Amino acid sequence: MSSRSAARLLSRSTFGPAGGRVAAVSRLTSGLSQLAAPAAPPHVGQAPLPLPRLHRPFSTSPRRAATTDPSQSTPPAPTEKPVSLVYELHSPPKDASPNAGGAQSLVVCHGLFGSKQNWRSLAKAMAKQFGIPVYAVDLRNHGTSTEHVEGMSYRDMALDLLEFVKEHKLEKIALVGHSMGGKAVMAFALAPELKEGTLEYLISVDMSPARGPLSKEFEEYIEAMLAIEKKGCRTRGEADELLKETEPDVGVRQFLLTNLQKSDSSDSWCFRIPVSLIKRYMSQIGDFPYDASDRTWDGKTLFVKGTESKYINRRNKPLCNEYFPNAVHVDVEAGHWVQAQKPREFIQALSDFFAGKL
């Protein structure tokens, strides 16, 4: 999938006020191929650094709500019990030494309609670079998740991640999320259930905690995917032709069709993700479960922005630091898919963050 296609898909399917188009930078596959190159990582472009702050101890701080509405001080109830997340574990080389600023493992979360496989090449590279295990998870109702459940709120996703951390007895994790996954990891950091010593670093990739509706085009993708299932397409090519009526860009179609699989009960093709279920909860994907006046997390936080993307912008950037007072920001010359378009710069940004250079 080309960076133009990825940017086109995700710049239109907003998870908060974004606006604007993202220019193409390079093909995602060619970007990931940089990881095999022996050259030193290129310089990471970055925004002006904030003045030095005194580091505050771990704190997920409840703050007095700005309104008298009692619901503002109470976290939203989850839809159902937490989901056991499917994952891939990428172990570091046996002779590798931990090099992640004290983090003992790294957990990565994909964006909407993505999956753990989107991170596979980069997860392997990060395990080698940082010398710690890297867990790439499928968020609820995504990827190869076998348990499809009601609810797509970030409160639900955060509780899923908390359960995952508990199941695997993880401590001092570095938590990375891109796009929708970025909001999921931010909700994790703000969750009242988060125990001290669990989260060491928080990294949101090209996503702010802003609220906003999803775009009309994204709703059209959902309808097109439902039409493919209703028709009972017998080949991937037939499904692609049907999707072409909604989306002319072949790269966007290929990305959406990575979720297509052969039906177990017939000769037709269907989507492995529960499209109709996700449709019911579209509004939750544009939302965010907490107010900055109510909850903050004072731990070490990094926002990685693609310079050609508008997901983090001058209007919502201050909001990032309202929720996460100790956050630092780095700019990478890329579109929304920062980690795929510029993987070496992305890894270098994380390396600098872990080393306390930002």
**pLDDT tens digits for range 208-222:** 999 988 778 778 989
Q: What is the DSSP letter of 238?
A: H
Interatomic CA distance for residues 216 and 219, integer angstroms: 5
Furthest-apart CA atoms within the chain: distance in Å: 62
Q: Which amino acid is at 153?
A: S
Residues 6 or more apart from 308 whose CB is under 8 A from it?
Answer: 7, 22, 23, 25, 333, 334, 335
Per-residue pLDDT tens listing for the chain (358 residues) = 555 555 455 444 445 544 433 333 333 444 554 454 333 333 333 333 332 332 323 334 444 222 223 334 455 666 668 999 999 999 999 999 999 999 999 999 999 999 999 899 999 999 999 999 999 999 999 999 988 999 999 999 999 999 999 999 999 999 999 999 999 999 999 999 999 999 999 999 999 999 988 778 778 989 999 999 999 898 999 999 999 999 898 878 888 898 998 887 778 898 999 999 999 999 999 999 999 999 999 999 999 999 999 999 999 999 999 999 999 999 999 999 899 999 999 999 999 999 999 9
Residues 6 or more apart from 255 whose CB is under 8 A from it?
Answer: 1, 5, 6, 9, 113
Helices 250-257 and 236-244 meet at what angle, rounded to 10? 130
- 215 token code pair: 């775009």
Side-chain half-sphere of 183: how many Cα atoms within 13 Å?
Answer: 27
C-alpha closest to that of 229 among 277, 283, 180 = 277
Interatomic CA distance for residues 183 and 303, integer angstroms: 11
Residue with tokens 């990827």: 143
**pLDDT tens digits for range 44-63:** 333 333 323 323 233 344 44
Interatomic CA distance for residues 170 and 274, integer angstroms: 29
pTM value?
Answer: 0.80
Q: Which amino acid is at 314?
A: R
Q: What residue ranges of the chain are covered by domains with CATH 3.40.50.1820? A: 3-8+72-212+286-354
Nearest-Å Rg of the Cα atoms of the chain is 20
Helices 250-257 and 3-12 meet at what angle, rounded to 10? 70
Interatomic CA distance for residues 245 and 252, integer angstroms: 13
Q: Report domain 3-8+72-212+286-354's class.
A: alpha beta
**pLDDT tens digits for range 261-309:** 888 777 889 899 999 999 999 999 999 999 999 999 999 999 999 999 9
Helix, strand and coil content of the chain, in percent to the nearest 5, comes to 35, 15, 50
Q: CA 106: distance to chain centroid?
A: 14
Interatomic CA distance for residues 172 and 309, integer angstroms: 31
- 236 token code pair: 């991937």
Residue with tokens 């201050």: 318
Helix ranges (H only) for the chain are 3-12, 28-33, 120-130, 154-167, 180-190, 216-231, 236-244, 250-257, 275-280, 282-285, 317-323, 338-341, 343-354
Q: How many CB atoms are located within 10 Å of the residue 43 CB? A: 9
